[in-house]
Amino acid sequence: MAEPLILALDQGTTSTRAIVFDRRGQPLQTVGRNLKQYYPADGWVEHDPDEIFAAAVEVLREAVEACGRGVEAISAIGVTNQRETVVVWDKATGKPIHPAIVWQDRRTAAACDRLRAAGHEPRVTEVTGLLLDPYFSGAKIAWLLDNVAGARVRAQAGELLAGTIDTWVIWKLTGGRVHATDATNASRTLLFDLRAQAWSDEMLRIFDVPAALLPEVRDSAGDFGETEPALLGRPVPIRGVAGDQQAALMGQGCVSPGEMKATYGTGCFLLVNTGEAAPVSRSRLLTTVAARVAGKTTFALEGAIFIAGAGVQWVNEGLGVEGGPLAVERLAQAARPDHGVVLVPAFTGLGAPWWDAAARGAIFGLTRDAGLPEIAQATFDASALQTRDLIEAMRADAPEAFGAEAVLRIDGGMARSAWFAQRLADLTGVNVNRATFQDTTALGAALFAGIGAGVYADMAEAAEARPQAEPVTPAMGRHARETAYARWLDAVARTRSNT
């Protein structure tokens, strides 16, 4: 019998990709499309939902064709997605009522401030594990209902549906038969009760979101229907769904408490598996669902950095450095030693542990002999130093994960650089394992789908398909590391909106 194949759809912030994997987690074919970003106002970021779905169908079809074994060989599809991005659409026609509001979007900052001033944040955190920040989905949905003509009335009449990108894509792939999400995505909305594992009536009242809009919440490995026959040539079961960072946690094999990973894509997201415990962070980190499989929920602590690879992209596009990320890396390696330049890339505010939506980017320490090489290195260092912020916060909340043997598994576009991996280990003082295969988000979606389709017996067996890793140990002296971090903390303090 031919080995089963699994098809992963990875719908990210800047691209939509499909990857065909075999049972051992080896990629056989990859097809991708870039995704256009829209910036209609300061701090606003939007996507075209129809463009997302059209690209999804294209890459799925092309990946199946390119693998050479036909759609019959595909045992299941796994879907992973940019998480907090939301779409609201007409239930009858499938037409979005507005462009998708992207997770980076800050238009709901004032609404979150009002809820915080009204004293809601402690209860919101207790129920959802999250903070009152425009990053999350609930306030975005409320904004759409209040700012699109007639939307709230139509929502209350049951004429509209809402969901994160996984929900939108699944609804379209199944011809409108399945309106569902998984527990990892639901846990990013500010509307989901972590402990009850259900939508919270209390949060729905606070954010003024009608329950009828929301999808059914299912396990990460489970039945999400089948694709319309005409899309891929036959119906293909959708058996796995997870938000991108939880998918990467699975793809890195972090299925035991204390195991952690950081993914360096547009932003950076560091998650540490906390097992069946859902700790309440004392350091303004997030408590989130890591996975829900066979009805059993595991949790994670998460720190979110809004700008990582997007900072390198800014150097390319904003500062006119041609040649892509490799050109920026070459510049960075040519920087003067101990130049003292610090870049705080708060282009869309600061994420964890600062959570300052009004902060904006700044460069400090410029001298007459500083130039593009120093700014380029400071851009890479900003990702490493923001990671240090998260590690310090996680040490306070989950000290058991940061013993002498602590290892940070890394993946994503920036992790392709061995130089950056060394810089990360140096500036954090933590041992790093750099995945030899970077698309662990797509792999995680495939592994969840494999569990849902019976290709793997459980998460432990699926985790055996994680990629090999290259170990990187810190080489920088402690004094140099702590001096760099002190400069960083000073720059952050100068950048924050409330200082």
Q: Which of 403, 129, 126 is nearest to 257 (CA)?
A: 403
pLDDT tens string 414-442? 999 999 999 999 999 999 999 888 889 99
Q: Find residue 287's DSSP bridge partners.
A: 301
pLDDT tens string 133-189? 898 999 999 999 999 999 999 999 999 999 999 999 999 999 999 999 999 999 999
What would the two tokens of residue 122 be?
Answer: 């402690």
DSSP string, 377-389: HHHHHHHHHHHHH
488 part of a folded domain: no
What would the two tokens of residue 471 be?
Answer: 């170990």
Q: Which of 434, 436, 381 is nearest to 408 (CA)?
A: 434
pLDDT value of residue 403: 63
pLDDT value of residue 352: 86
Q: Find residue 348's DSSP bridge partners.
A: none
State the pTM of this model.
0.88
10 part of a folded domain: yes
- Domain extent at residue 126: 5-243
Contact 308, 285 (CB under 8 A): no
Residue with tokens 């101990």: 338
pLDDT value of residue 499: 54
278 part of a folded domain: no
In whole angstroms, give the CA distance from residue 120 to residue 21. 45
pLDDT value of residue 16: 95
pLDDT value of residue 401: 65
479 part of a folded domain: no
What would the two tokens of residue 200 be?
Answer: 């919270």
Stretch 43-62: mean pLDDT, rounded? 96
Give the residue, 396 or 476, on which the prediction is more confident.
476
The one-character DSSP state at 16 is E
The arrangement of strands across the sheet holding 160-164 comes to 46-47, 100-101, 86-90, 160-164
Q: Is 147 helix (H, G, I), strand (E, B) or coil?
A: helix
What would the two tokens of residue 83 be?
Answer: 């998480």
Contact 346, 360 (CB under 8 A): yes
Domain count, the chain: 1
pLDDT tens string 365-404? 999 999 999 999 999 999 999 999 999 998 888 776 666 6
What's the CATH code of the domain at 232? 3.30.420.40
* Mean pLDDT score of the chain: 93
Give the residue, 401 or 250, on which the prediction is more confident.
250
291 part of a folded domain: no
454 part of a folded domain: no
What would the two tokens of residue 121 be?
Answer: 């944040």
Stretch 5-29: mean pLDDT, rounded? 94
In whole angstroms, give the CA distance from residue 436 to residue 416. 8
CB-side neighbour CA atoms (13 Å) of 499: 12
Q: How far is CA 427 from the centre of its chain?
A: 23
Contact 465, 459 (CB under 8 A): no
In whole angstroms, give the CA distance from residue 249 to residue 271. 7
125 part of a folded domain: yes
pLDDT tens string 79-108? 999 999 999 999 999 999 999 999 889 899
332 part of a folded domain: no
* Band of pLDDT at residue 282, cut at 50, 70 and 90: confident
In whole angstroms, give the CA distance from residue 100 to residue 167. 12
Residue 349 has pLDDT above 90, yes or no: no
